[in-house]
Chains A and B, each alone.
Chain A
């Protein structure tokens, strides 16, 4: 029994992180239909920003997590910069595939640029403890408060994002752009501004995800975004990409599958099983768990 609960908690812990990262992925994808490979690297940027700002924040007498504000600002700026420098020019001229390649190149650029900065360098950095340790115990197994907090934050972000896209003017503009760029332009929506805002929000979310990631897995390194981003992307697709609640659901499912495979099936084959489940789900439901199958118009 305790093994089961332990496994469940580990799954939730992993899943809550994937969910939070996947929200950022799905946000950008929902609007411009671009798999933003650099999103994982925005998390890296957020992580390093916090590593460097936490001492200053503590010196000001604020709690360590307040550093996330600086991280959100930096991430949003990097996200908007990426959009302005790389994505926008390419979107104007190229196809969907060229945009994808630009995303891959941006991811590569960010990872290697970080490594070339002397203050960051190739060595991983370890964060200081952000939240006080502790948790709730069930059957001798502890569910960390940070895990609970991550889930709560994911839920809040999910609700806020959902309401934002449904109710605010900017949110409506985003959905409009996602559906039809030309029609949106005709309706007087500034498509470029809307996409820029999407990037700012999505990248800001990456900083929040970085905070929660660091709180539970306190190691930051330049290539941390690649595998994390990949798993989060898989989560977003599993839940139905572009669907905000789907990202959270997908994240939790992937985390649980990973944890339960490690405990009960095979610890060395965990990755294979995660993807096997993904393939099975997608073959049964080709648009993800919450996705709707849209019939093709002829």
Chain B
């Protein structure tokens, strides 16, 4: 019976995702050429895609394993540079000539995969000290790893400031390598969406599997978990590596979407939303231990950031408010505090959105609310 329900759930999800994806493809085909889609919606979707993967992958470590990692962008940097360099190497050795080459598609996915694998290997390295440390000590170690990675990339002759951020390499990354221009961003939008769907599915499967249950057991009580025969060291390192894999994939998408790389984007002191602390913010905001929450939070955070800066509606606000909106990060910080005060457990808490369970969840929620109301009434009556 239970098996049946799970199968139903999978089937439902698959059908909905396939239908949505197909609908999206048709929309893209219909409106892909128009200015606003090409200039606004497609780039936004690309950015959402890598932010979603980043937030969800950090949630594996933070929400499900219960370890604070402040160096997630380091893995992303590794992924971005790996993908970019690999694509350039392929172009220079003339594996493919231009984006119309059928081999190009293979190269894209190979680059994304390679980015993930290399990040995962480094993730293994980070995972090992994680065995001994906990809490804030672990946080500082991961932060240190993030800084080290950025510092090393800066000093590598083939990928630092003179490798990719600058020089003809950046231009050819755009022209020949993975870096997508506005048109290619529409043409290859399905790559970003497909990668995101596949990654999310892999992460969902991971947390629903035996491994996922084990790491949640470790989060809840490490000693009890190890007493029940769970090899905590193995699971911790594995989760770090698994999470780093997806961060690397997100990095590859970042490289595609930006066509130029600079380590300052991944640095801890970067003032924009792409920095390791903000990924933590996304996870906590979405709800630790809720992958769907991470997805929603990543999109919300992105939209808030984007809209404060580029939204046309800002022009309609009174002049005094507009003055404040000249400082997007200020508005962003205020919004963040408001959201946290109103929903301290995150948007979703530990709740996982599921299509199959949606009717039941809604019903339960309504029932709970009714009960709460009744309780309040009762309490009121007593007073």
Task: Please list the residues of chain A having a beta carbon within 8 angstroms of any beta carbon in chain B.
Answer: 29, 35, 37, 86, 89-90, 93-95, 97-98, 100-102, 104-106, 108-109, 111-113, 115-116, 223, 226-227, 230, 233-234, 237, 241, 266, 268-269, 271-272, 275-276, 278-279, 282-283, 286-288, 296, 298
Contacts and interface: CB of A to CB of B under 8 A. Distances in A.
B68 A116 contact: no
Nearest to A104: B277
B344 A90 contact: yes
Contacts of B268: 226, 230
B144 interface: yes
A239 B148 CA distance: 20
B89 to A, nearest CB: 25
Contacts of B344: 90, 93-95, 98
Interface of B: 62, 68, 129, 132-134, 136-137, 139-141, 143-145, 147-148, 151-152, 154-155, 223, 268-269, 271, 277-278, 280-281, 284-285, 288, 324, 326-327, 329-330, 332-334, 336-337, 340-341, 344-346
A272 B144 CA distance: 8
A101 B285 contact: yes
A115 B271 CA distance: 13
A246 to B, nearest CB: 13
Contact of A288 (B137, B154, B277): B137
Nearest to A237: B140
A206 to B, nearest CB: 19
Contacts of A106: 333, 337
Contacts of A233: 140
A271 B220 CA distance: 35
A97 B284 contact: yes
A119 B281 CA distance: 31
Contacts of B139: 35
Q: Which 4 A-B residue pairs are closest in the complex by CB-CB distance?
A: A94-B344, A275-B144, A112-B330, A109-B333
Among B129, B152, B155, B330, the one with the most A-chain Cβ atoms within 10 Å of its Cβ is B330
Given A237-B140, A272-B152, A282 B129 contact: yes
Given A223-B271, A241-B136, A102 B330 contact: no
Contact of A97 (B133, B154, B288): B288
B148 A268 contact: no
Given A275-B145, A276-B148, A279-B145, 19 more contacts: A94-B340, A98-B345, A98-B346, A100-B68, A101-B285, A102-B337, A104-B277, A105-B337, A106-B337, A108-B336, A116-B326, A226-B269, A234-B140, A268-B155, A271-B147, A275-B143, A282-B137, A286-B134, A287-B137
A37 B137 CA distance: 15
B133 to A, nearest CB: 5
Contact of B280 (A100, A111, A112): A100
A111 B330 CA distance: 8
A90 B326 CA distance: 28
Contact of A108 (B136, B141, B333, B341): B333
Contacts of A286: 132-134, 137
A37 B337 CA distance: 14
A227 B150 CA distance: 15
21 contacts: A98-B345, A100-B284, A101-B281, A101-B340, A106-B337, A108-B329, A109-B330, A111-B329, A112-B327, A112-B329, A115-B330, A234-B143, A234-B144, A237-B137, A272-B152, A275-B147, A278-B141, A283-B129, A283-B132, A286-B134, A288-B137
Contacts of A226: 268-269
A35 B284 contact: no
A102 B342 CA distance: 12
A241 B140 CA distance: 11
A86 B281 CA distance: 15
Among B288, B332, B344, the one with the most A-chain Cβ atoms within 10 Å of its Cβ is B344
B140 A282 contact: yes
Nearest to B140: A237
B340 to A, nearest CB: 5
A272 B147 contact: yes
B239 to A, nearest CB: 17
A101 B336 contact: yes
A86 to B, nearest CB: 6
A250 to B, nearest CB: 11
A176 B312 CA distance: 53
A109 B288 contact: no
